[in-house]
């Protein structure tokens, strides 16, 4: 279906089901219960899951297929955000032109930066992209203040022209982002017994865009173009002597992944119409590298999983503070309770980076293929078990 | 006039004269071997033919066109395919994917975006790849990961990848180096078969005299960067100058 083979189609269906049912899946605990703080099904966070999913999917097209590790992809994300906000300021609060401009402008940026950076490979390429991103960050932060509004960040204000929309609504407030009148902030709460599920327009817009982005990524992976990108990672020398010029291929991959980043940045601004220079900082570029490696480099679903996991840690795991820990271990005698809380304390709450770092180290060491490899191993082990079952108990297990 | 004409080619690396006054003419549909002791400049000459190195002096004409100043992929598009000393294949890809890449290169040129079509929809190319794999007896390995194959199989795959492009000139850089006797003989058989079946010119650099004398129609002996003699194989065998070059007077 959709021009995909059976395996890819079922993968796509799984992702469709997961994203469409996310408000249920991520809200397993009843509101008001002790576990409710682990619910991730609120619009703001769900939007972040899928937006960073798009960012990571695009990054994986470059890093996963060609092996070129860019340390500056956040620059394209930032450029996308700024473009979108400018569109909201000048044209209208409709997100469609804003997102189109984000993708186009970040594509142009990627073309220029990629053209220069791709003259080198390996670590030198990474350093060049890092340098470009840091330059963009510094420019946005200071010199380009008229365009980026420097430290404060770019925001929509009441006196923006918005030629196709209105500068201010009838009641004198700033209009909200919408898709042909459908407000991004609009949400519907479904109450089922003790549970509350929130369905937000913003989330579903982001989710549909991510599904399209994911589908396009599958098509690229399975196309001759994708094959050439994998060949570049494998052996550039052979590719040269096979009559192919690797440079336009890598540049195209770089621009495509830059446009994905711009799309993510545009969506971010569409959900919350502001853009700041910190979106371009190198830590943001490093984050998408971590997402991709954690989920599984060069796999289709890996980057999305990695993005979800890191954002979950950042937003949910970080909420476990000492009070929460004390309430969990309150059944223990006082001294032991305090001791256990003391031991766990550095790993949770503000220390979530530590836990994530440990998980990252474990994944890289034992599962070089990321979470996807972990899933594959479990699936293989289960299949093996099933095959072994009908055999008589006396047979030795293989190996 | 041969299909490959090398005229007065010279190449220096700093003070070292790697090649000087090399003249070579390879006639169409023959197998021309270039032999010589270590350091004679065989690999340098080959690199000058494929665009990896640019000679300091002289000219290299292929099929009436100069190859000088062209990059390796352009030279390949002119019809020259090269087999390396250690097999250069796409080790991370499957055998079939390895075969598809040269076919796409041949059909689409050096670059085409081609990002929404599916590889598995290219029926005619897949059939062509399968035919070629069948020719080198590797059809049963089509789904195999290229890195997992034996060295002999990697060599066969590399040759299949070159041949599937139907090149006018096939350059072989010590194709049997480091191979066991049986693999060497297999490779010789394969090359003889290729010669008989196809209209193809082969230029081969080789140390193994057994390989050279089984295949070559003509032999050039290179020593210290200059061609010593060029003649038919039977005349090379007992040639005093060749013996001198290999055994050396200086030693």
- Residue of higher predicted confidence among A99 and A334: A99
What is residue A268's predicted lDDT score, i.e. its pLDDT? 96
Q: What is the mean pLDDT of residues A227-246?
A: 95
3-state secondary structure of B210: helix
What is residue B128's predicted lDDT score, i.e. its pLDDT? 95
Does B90 contact A238 at a Cβ distance shorter than 8 Å? yes
Residue B118 has its nearest CB partner, among A3, A235, A248, at A3
Residue B85 within a domain: no
3-state secondary structure of B233: helix
Q: Which of B166, B183, B211 is the last residue of a domain?
A: B166
What is residue A390's predicted lDDT score, i.e. its pLDDT? 58
Q: How confident is the model at residue A396 (pLDDT cuts 50, 70, 90)?
A: very low
A124-133, A147-156, A313-322, B136-145 — most confident range: A124-133
Q: Which of B106, B141, B166 is the last residue of a domain?
A: B166
Is B250 a residue whose pLDDT tops 70? Answer: no
B81 touches chain A (CB under 8 A): yes
Is A393 a residue whose pLDDT tops 50? Answer: no
Q: Please list the helix, strand and coil fractions of chain B in percent, rounded to the nearest 5, in that order.
A: 40, 25, 35
Choose among A67, A78, A344: nearest CA to B90: A67
Contact B192, B214 (CB under 8 A): yes
Helix (H) or strand (E) holding B161: helix B151-163
Does A245 contact B110 at a Cβ distance shorter than 8 Å? yes
How far is Cα of residue A43 from the mean position of the Cα atoms in its chain?
Answer: 15
The pTM score is: 0.92
Q: What is the mean pLDDT of residues A316-339?
A: 85
Bridge partners (DSSP) of residue A197 are A190
Q: What is the mean pLDDT of residues A88-104?
A: 95
Is A108 a residue whose pLDDT tops 70? Answer: yes
What is residue B181's predicted lDDT score, i.e. its pLDDT? 86
Number of domains in chain B: 2
d(CA A47, CA A270): 11
How far is Cα of residue A292 from the mean position of the Cα atoms in its chain?
Answer: 9
Q: Judging by beta carbons within 10 Å of its beta carbon (0-12, 13-18, 19+), is residue A329 exposed, middle or buried?
A: middle
B82 touches chain A (CB under 8 A): yes
What is residue B161's predicted lDDT score, i.e. its pLDDT? 95
Is A246 a residue whose pLDDT tops 50? Answer: yes
Residue B51 within a domain: yes
Task: Tell me which residues of chain A have a C-beta less than 8 Å from any C-beta of chain B.
Answer: 3, 5, 219-220, 222-228, 230-231, 233-235, 237-245, 248-249, 252
A179-183, long-range: CB < 8 A, 24+ apart: A179/A94, A179/A95, A179/A96, A179/A205, A180/A94, A180/A96
pLDDT in tens, A269-292: 999 998 999 999 999 999 999 999
Residues 6+ apart with CB under 8 A from A352: A313, A314, A317, A318
d(CA B156, CA B149): 10
Choose among A236, A237, A234, A230: nearest CA to A253: A230
> What CATH code is carried by the domain that includes residue B247?
3.40.50.300
d(CA A59, CA A134): 18
Residues of B in contact with A226 (CB under 8 A): 115, 119
Compare all CA atoms of chain A with the CA of B71 and give the residue at the minimum distance: A240
- SS3 letters for chain A? CCCCCHHHHHHHHHHHHHHHCHHHHCCCCCCCCHHHHHCCCCHHHHHHHHHHHHHHHHHHHHHHHHCCCCCCCHHHHHHHHHHHHHHHHHCCCEHHHHHHHHHHHHHHHHHHHHHHHCCCCHHHHHHHHHHHHHHHHHHHHHHCHHHHCCCCCEECCCCCCCCCCCCCCCCCCCCCCEECCEECCCEEEEEECCEEEEEEHHHHHHHHHHHHHHHHHHHHHHCHHHHHHHHHHHCHHHHHCCCCCHHHHHHHHHHHHHHHHHHHHHHHHHHCCEECHHHHCHHHHHHHHHHHHHHCCCCCCHHHHHHHHHHHHHHCHHHCCHHHHHHHCCCCCHHHHHHHHHHHHHHCHHHHHHHHHHHHHHHHHHCCCHHHHHHHHHHHHHHHHHHHCCCCCCCCCCC
Give the CA radius of gyration of chain B: 19
d(CA A77, CA B101): 33
Helix (H) or strand (E) holding B155: helix B151-163
Domain coverage including residue B31: 1-79+167-251
Is A88 a residue whose pLDDT tops 90? Answer: yes
Residues 6+ apart with CB under 8 A from A119: none
Q: List b or e across A365-381, with b for residues whose CB sees 16 or more CB atoms inside 10 angstroms.
A: eebebbbbbebeeeeee
B172 and B54 belong to one structural domain: yes
Is A395 a residue whose pLDDT tops 60? Answer: no
**ipTM of the complex in this document:** 0.91
What residues does each domain of chain A span?
6-29+40-281
Does A231 contact B117 at a Cβ distance shorter than 8 Å? no
B28 and B147 belong to one structural domain: no
- Residue of higher predicted confidence among A319 and B88: B88
B175 and B144 belong to one structural domain: no
Compare all CA atoms of chain B with the CA of A248 and give the residue at the minimum distance: B111
Helix (H) or strand (E) holding B122: none
Q: Which of B166, B183, B203 is the last residue of a domain?
A: B166
Count how many Cα atoms sit within 13 Å of the Cα of residue A155 in the half-sphere of its side chain: 7
Q: What is the mean pLDDT of residues A149-170?
A: 89
What is residue A193's predicted lDDT score, i.e. its pLDDT? 86
Does A241 contact B105 at a Cβ distance shorter than 8 Å? no
What is residue A62's predicted lDDT score, i.e. its pLDDT? 97
- SS3 letters for A270-305? HHCCEECHHHHCHHHHHHHHHHHHHHCCCCCCHHHH
Helix (H) or strand (E) holding B78: helix B72-78
Compare all CA atoms of chain A with the CA of B114 and give the residue at the minimum distance: A225
Compare all CA atoms of chain B with the CA of A242 and give the residue at the minimum distance: B102
- Residue of higher predicted confidence among A262 and B114: A262
pLDDT in tens, A287-299: 999 999 999 999 9
d(CA A92, CA A165): 5
> Is the CA virtual torsion A391, A392, A393, A398 positive or negative?
negative
3-state secondary structure of B10: strand
- Residue of higher predicted confidence among B127 and B151: B127
B33 and B151 belong to one structural domain: no
Residue B55 within a domain: yes
B89 touches chain A (CB under 8 A): yes
């Amino acid at each position: 279906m959709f021009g995909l083979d059976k395996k890819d189609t079922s993968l796509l269906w799984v992702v469709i089901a997961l994203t469409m049912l996310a408000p249920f899946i991520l809200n397993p605990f009843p509101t008001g219960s002790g576990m409710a703080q682990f619910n991730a099904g609120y619009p703001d966070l769900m939007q972040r899951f899928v937006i960073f999913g798009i960012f990571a999917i695009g990054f994986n097209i470059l890093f996963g297929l060609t092996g070129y590790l860019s340390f500056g992809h956040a620059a394209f994300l930032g450029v996308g955000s700024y473009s979108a906000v400018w569109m909201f300021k000048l044209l209208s609060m409709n997100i469609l032109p804003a997102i189109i401009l984000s993708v186009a402008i970040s594509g142009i940026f990627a073309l220029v930066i990629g053209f220069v950076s791709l003259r080198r490979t390996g670590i030198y390429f990474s350093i060049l992209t890092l340098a470009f991103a840091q330059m963009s960050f510094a420019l946005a932060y200071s010199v380009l203040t008229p365009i980026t509004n420097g430290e404060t960040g770019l925001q929509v204000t009441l006196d923006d022209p918005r030629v196709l929309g209105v500068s201010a609504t009838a009641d004198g407030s700033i209009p909200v982002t919408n898709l042909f009148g459908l407000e991004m902030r609009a949400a519907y709460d479904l109450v089922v017994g003790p549970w509350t599920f929130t369905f937000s327009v913003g989330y579903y817009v982001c989710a549909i865009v991510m599904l399209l982005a994911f589908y396009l990524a599958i098509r690229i992976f399975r196309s001759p173009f994708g094959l050439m990108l994998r060949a570049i990672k494998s052996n550039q020398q052979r590719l040269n002597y096979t009559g192919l010029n690797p440079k336009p291929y890598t540049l195209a991959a770089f621009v495509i992944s830059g446009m994905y980043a711009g799309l993510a940045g545009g969506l971010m601004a569409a959900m919350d119409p502001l853009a700041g220079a910190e979106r371009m900082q190198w830590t943001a570029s490093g984050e998408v590298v971590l997402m991709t490696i954690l989920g599984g480099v060069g796999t289709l679903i890996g980057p999305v999983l990695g993005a979800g996991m890191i954002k979950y840690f950042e937003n949910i795991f970080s909420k476990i503070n000492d009070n929460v820990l004390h309430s969990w271990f309150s059944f223990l005698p006082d001294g032991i309770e305090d001791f256990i809380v003391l031991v766990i304390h550095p790993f949770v709450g503000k220390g979530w980076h530590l836990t994530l770092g440990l998980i990252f180290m474990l994944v890289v060491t034992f599962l070089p293929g990321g979470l996807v490899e972990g899933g594959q191993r479990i699936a293989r082990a289960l299949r093996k078990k099933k095959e072994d079952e009908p055999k008589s108990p006396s047979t030795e297990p293989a190996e | 006039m041969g299909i490959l004409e090398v005229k007065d080619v010279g190449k220096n690396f700093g003070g070292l004269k790697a090649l000087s006054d090399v003249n070579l003419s390879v006639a169409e549909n023959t197998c021309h071997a270039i032999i010589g002791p270590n350091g004679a400049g065989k690999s340098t000459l080959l690199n000058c033919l494929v665009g990896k190195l640019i000679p300091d002096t002289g000219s290299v004409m292929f099929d009436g066109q100069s190859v000088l100043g062209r990059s390796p992929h352009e030279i390949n598009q002119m019809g020259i395919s090269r087999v390396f000393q250690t097999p250069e294949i796409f080790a991370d890809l499957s055998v079939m994917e390895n075969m598809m890449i040269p076919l796409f290169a041949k059909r689409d040129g050096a670059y085409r975006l081609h990002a929404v079509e599916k590889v598995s929809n290219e029926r005619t190319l897949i059939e062509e790849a399968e035919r070629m794999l069948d020719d080198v007896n590797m059809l049963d390995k089509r789904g195999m990961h290229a890195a997992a194959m034996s060295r002999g199989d990697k060599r066969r795959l590399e040759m299949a990848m070159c041949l599937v492009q139907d090149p006018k000139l096939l350059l072989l850089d010590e194709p049997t180096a480091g191979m066991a006797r049986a693999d060497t003989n297999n490779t010789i058989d394969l090359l003889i078969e290729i010669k008989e079946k196809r209209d193809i010119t082969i230029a081969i650099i080789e140390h193994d005299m057994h390989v050279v004398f089984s295949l070559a129609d003509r032999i050039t002996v290179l020593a210290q960067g200059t061609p010593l003699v060029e003649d038919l194989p039977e005349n090379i065998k007992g040639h005093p100058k060749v013996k001198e070059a290999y055994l050396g007077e200086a030693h």
